Amino acid sequence: MGKKRIGMVTISLSLAMVLATTVGCSSDKKSALQGKAAVAPALQPVNDLFAPKPKDVIELRVPTPTSFHSGVDIIAQKYGFFEREGIKLKYVGALETPSLQIAALKAGQIDVLGGHPDIFISVIKGGFKVRGVVRNSMGNATYPHMTFFVRKDSGINCAKDLIGKKVAPGEGKAGSFDTSCGGFFWSRYLKENGIPRNKLVQVPLAEPQQEQALRQKLIDVTANGPTFAGNYSKKGEFKKLFTSWDLFPTITDKEDSEISMRGFTDDFIRKNPEAVRRFVRAIIKAQAWTLDHHLLSSEYVGQLQDFEPSVTAEHHLGASGYIEDRPLRLWLAHFEEIKTLKPGQLKPTDLYTNEFNPYRVASDGKKYPTYYDKIKTTLAKK
């Protein structure tokens, strides 16, 4: 009986959906609130960014926040973006390197993977199917993702002075020129300046140790996320060599280059599409809100990294969370160049899906002929 009922409801609803479209186009005039012309009644898209609050709660296991990458999670929790989507996070402990995160994901200890494209590439290369579902970081001139510092008396003023120098390749103790944002931006900087990567000595150090190491000349260049970079800038003891925003020729490339994503395994996505949908909605809204409140967010992430809650710095985020091929191509091309990937081994679309992003419905502007299109046509004729 229970099953039957569900069957009947399904048929009724399917019919209703068909009817909804038909009726929608013919009942304009009476429903118009304003003006002369009238349009079809609005149908909410299947995945509305501002969908009503669900009644149940889904728990997702995630790494405990330790860096600026988690700023948006703090906002999403403190301001109720997760709660509104019926999402509760369970922190499983700090997983500070990509390899620890990958291991935890494979062991089923976490549900969500976060990082730059290389983490997704590594997991996929390891035979584990995983996909980004929402974009996080995005380049911005005021809020660069990474900054590289030298001692003021180091004599290092440009890239060519780096030959033979010891550098922190990233912000983690497992960093290298082949991994994460640190490695990606280091590689780009050296390439733009014609310096082979093997002419530098990589000394991986966790970010909190880099300041002292630089002072004691154990390293000559640090690689820092915004929090540490903001603090170094304030203290004024070190000199900025370059930032991630100084690289790449165009603003679009600069914005693209910082891409990071949150994702799930294909298996999790298949089994829990609603959880993914809600998670993506919460992150998008928290990101959009954060972009209008950079100062507040920088306070949170600064303190998370054990700094006094004074203004430090912050990175920038994608407002729509929509993932595109273009930024991923930048990263894939880089990995093909350094030969950690064979040419064409992975395509951008292997790394992500926008299926759970409410903005998916907005991706085709050609569907909607508008006032603007009329102007364009008139201009073209002229």
Query: Contacts with another protein in 5-44 (CB under 8 A)?
Result: 12-20, 23-24, 28, 31-44
Site string (75-94) toward another protein, x via CB under 8 A: --xxxxx--x----x-x---
Q: Which is nearer to another protein, 339 or 364 (CB)?
A: 364
In the range 203-222, which residues lie near another protein by CB under 8 A?
Answer: none
Tokens of 17: 């959906």
* Residue 188 C-beta-side C-alpha neighbours within 13 Å: 26
Stretch that binds another protein, among 112-120, 162-170, 171-179, 315-323 (CB under 8 A): 315-323
- Neighbouring residues of 211: CB distance < 8 A, sequence distance ≥ 6: 222, 228, 232
Query: Binding residue for another protein (CB under 8 A) from 230, 259, 262, 279?
Result: 230
Identify the burial level of 55 via C-beta atoms within 10 angstroms of its C-beta, where 0-12 means exposed, 13-18 middle and 19 or more buried: exposed
**Token digits of residue 12:** 């009724």
Q: Which is nearer to another protein, 5 or 50 (CB)?
A: 50
Residue closer to another protein, measured from CB, 52 or 196: 52
Q: What gap in Å lies between CA 214 and CA 205, rounded to an integer?
A: 11
Angle between helices 294-304 and 226-235 (to 10 degrees): 90
Q: Which residue, 126 or 252, is less far from another protein as judged by CB?
A: 252
- Report how far residue 95's alpha carbon sits from residue 119's, in angstroms, rounded to the nearest whole number: 13
Cα gap 341→346, rounded to integer Å: 8
Which residues in 133-152 contact another protein (CB under 8 A)?
Answer: 135, 138, 140-143
What is the size of the binding site for another protein (CB under 8 A)? Answer: 98
Contact positions with another protein (CB under 8 A) in 322-351 = 322
Q: What does the alpha-carbon distance between residue 294 and residue 123 come to, in Å, rounded to a whole number? A: 32
Among 218, 336, 359, 360, binds another protein (CB under 8 A): 359
Site string for another protein, 108-137 (x = CB under 8 A): ---------------------------x--
Contact between 325 and 248 under an 8 Å Cβ cutoff? The reply is no
Asked whether position 163 contacts another protein by CB under 8 A, the answer is no
